[in-house]
C-alpha cells in the first residue's frame, strides 16, 4: 500500500521557519488537538515547532521543548494540555514580556501561536506591540465568550460534561421531589448555562447577561409543582450575582420548598474532548499556521458561519458576544 500524499507546500511569503506554541489560562478539552494540528501542519510545510511549557510563565523562563509529529501522537483524545498552563504575574509587566521576547529571539522563533482566552490574548497582543513578534490566537476556553468565533475550543465538551451531571441530578431530584439548583461555569457569560438548560429540560436558567425578577421565578417554581412535576432543575451560571447558593436561598425563603445545591466547578474543564471540539481545534490549528505563512499577525483564528475568520485580538475582548436570544426564549417556552 502506498503512503497517502502529504499536504503540498503552501506559499510562505512571510518566510516563517520556526514557530512557538503555548497554552495559557484555564485548560480546555481540545487544546491538545490544537497543539497537534499546529505541529503537524507546520512540519508538513518544513517549519519547526517549539513548545512553550507552562504558558507565559514558561515563556518568561525559557521553558522550551522541540515538538515533532511523533511528540503529539496519541494526544488528540486527551483532555488538559500536554504543554501545561500557569498564571503569570511577571508577564503583566513590560520587563517580563521583554525577557520572554529575548528567549524567543535566542531560539530564532519567527512567530508565536497562543491557545487561550481573553487574558491570554492580552498577553499575546502586548508582546507583538512591544517587540514586533507576530502572534496568532486560537480561542481555547470553555466559556465560549470570545467575540469573533461561533464556538471556542472546549465549549462543546464542557456542555456535555455539565449535561451528564444534570441528567443524573434530575433522577434523584424527581425521586425525592426536590428542587436542584445547579451551578455551571461562566464567570461573565451564560453560554454553557443556556445550552445545558435547554438540553437538560430545566425549569429556569440564570445567566450574567440578564437580571431575573425573582417573583416571577418563584411563581414558575410554584406552577411547576401544581402541574405535577416531581422535581425541578434550575441552572445558574457562576457569574450570576449570588450564584447557585443565592438563588437557592431565595427560592426556599419565597416558597418554603426544599432545595439542594450542586456546584459542578472544575469537573467541566476536564475529560476527553468530544468530536466537535477535536474537529474545531484541528481546523483552527491548521489555519493558524497557514495564516502566519501568509503574513497575518495580531489576529484570532475562529470559525463563523462555517468559514474560517480572522479577528484582531483587541476586538475579541472589546466586542461583546451575546448569548442566543432565540435559545433563551426557547428555554422559557419549553419549561412549562
As beta bridge partners, residue 41 has: none
Residue with cell 475582548: 317
Q: Is 141 annotated as a binding residue?
A: yes
Cα separation, 302 vs 304, in Å, equals: 7
214-226 and 243-255 helices cross at what angle (nearest 10)? 60
Instruction: Mark out the alpha helices in the chain (DSSP H runs).
Output: 31-44, 55-61, 94-106, 118-131, 155-176, 191-199, 214-226, 243-255, 275-294, 313-318, 325-333
Q: Is 295 annotated as a binding residue?
A: no
Q: Which residues are catalytic?
A: 143
Q: Is 260 annotated as a binding residue?
A: yes
Q: Is 186 annotated as a binding residue?
A: yes
Question: Rounded to a whole number, what is the distance in angstroms from the first to the last CA of the chain?
Answer: 59
Nearest to 258 by CA among 164, 181, 152, 151: 181
Q: Is 277 annotated as a binding residue?
A: no
Q: Is 120 annotated as a binding residue?
A: yes
Q: Is 201 annotated as a binding residue?
A: yes
Q: Is 242 annotated as a binding residue?
A: no
191-199 and 325-333 helices cross at what angle (nearest 10)? 30
Q: Is 46 annotated as a binding residue?
A: no
Cα separation, 288 vs 41, in Å, equals: 9
Count other Cβ atoms within 10 Å, centred on residue 227.
Answer: 8
Q: Is 227 annotated as a binding residue?
A: yes
Instruction: Mark out the alpha helices in 227-305 (DSSP H runs).
Output: 243-255, 275-294
DSSP three-state, residue 205: strand
Q: Which three cell numbers stand for residue 164?
A: 451528564
Q: Is 202 annotated as a binding residue?
A: yes
Residue 237 CB-density burial (10 A; 0-12 exposed, 13-18 middle, 19+ buried)? buried
Q: Is 249 annotated as a binding residue?
A: no
Q: Is 239 annotated as a binding residue?
A: no
Q: Is 231 annotated as a binding residue?
A: yes
Q: Is 253 annotated as a binding residue?
A: no
As beta bridge partners, residue 259 has: 179
Binding residues for ADP: 36-40, 170, 201-203, 227, 229-231
Binding residues for ATP: 26, 87-88, 117-120
Binding residues: 26, 36-40, 87-88, 117-120, 141-143, 170, 178, 185-187, 201-203, 227, 229-231, 238, 260, 266-269
Amino acid at each position: 500500500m502506498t503512503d497517502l500524499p502529504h499536504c503540498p507546500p503552501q506559499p510562505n511569503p512571510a518566510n516563517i521557519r520556526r514557530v512557538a506554541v503555548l497554552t495559557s489560562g484555564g485548560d480546555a478539552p481540545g487544546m491538545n488537538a490544537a497543539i497537534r494540528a499546529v505541529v503537524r501542519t507546520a512540519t508538513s510545510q518544513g517549519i519547526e515547532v517549539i513548545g512553550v511549557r507552562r504558558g507565559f510563565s514558561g515563556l518568561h523562563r525559557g521553558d522550551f521543548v522541540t515538538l515533532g509529529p511523533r511528540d503529539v501522537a496519541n494526544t488528540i483524545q486527551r483532555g488538559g494540555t500536554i504543554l501545561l498552563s500557569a498564571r503569570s504575574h511577571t508577564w503583566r509587566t513590560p520587563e517580563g514580556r521583554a525577557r520572554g521576547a529575548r528567549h524567543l529571539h535566542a531560539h530564532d522563533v519567527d512567530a508565536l501561536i497562543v491557545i487561550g482566552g481573553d487574558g491570554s490574548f492580552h498577553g499575546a497582543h502586548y508582546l507583538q506591540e512591544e517587540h514586533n513578534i507576530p502572534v496568532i490566537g486560537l480561542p481555547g476556553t470553555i466559556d465560549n465568550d470570545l467575540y469573533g468565533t461561533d464556538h471556542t475550543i472546549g465549549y462543546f465538551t464542557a456542555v456535555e460534561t455539565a449535561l451528564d451531571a444534570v441528567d443524573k441530578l434530575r433522577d434523584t431530584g424527581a425521586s425525592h421531589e426536590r428542587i436542584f439548583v445547579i451551578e455551571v461555569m461562566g464567570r461573565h457569560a451564560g453560554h454553557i448555562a443556556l445550552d445545558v438548560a435547554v438540553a437538560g429540560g430545566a425549569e429556569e436558567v440564570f445567566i450574567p447577561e440578564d437580571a431575573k425578577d425573582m417573583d416571577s421565578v418563584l411563581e414558575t417554581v410554584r406552577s411547576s409543582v401544581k402541574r405535577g412535576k416531581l422535581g425541578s432543575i434550575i441552572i445558574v451560571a457562576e457569574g450570576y450575582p449570588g450564584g447557585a447558593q443565592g438563588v437557592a436561598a431565595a427560592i426556599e425563603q419565597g416558597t418554603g420548598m426544599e432545595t439542594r445545591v450542586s456546584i459542578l466547578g472544575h469537573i467541566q474543564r476536564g475529560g476527553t474532548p468530544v468530536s466537535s471540539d477535536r474537529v474545531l481545534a484541528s481546523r483552527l490549528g491548521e489555519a493558524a499556521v497557514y495564516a502566519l505563512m501568509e503574513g497575518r499577525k495580531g489576529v484570532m483564528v475562529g470559525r463563523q458561519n462555517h468559514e474560517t475568520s480572522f479577528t484582531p485580538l483587541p476586538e475579541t475582548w472589546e466586542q461583546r458576544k451575546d448569548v442566543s436570544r432565540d435559545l433563551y426564549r426557547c428555554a422559557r417556552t419549553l419549561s412549562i
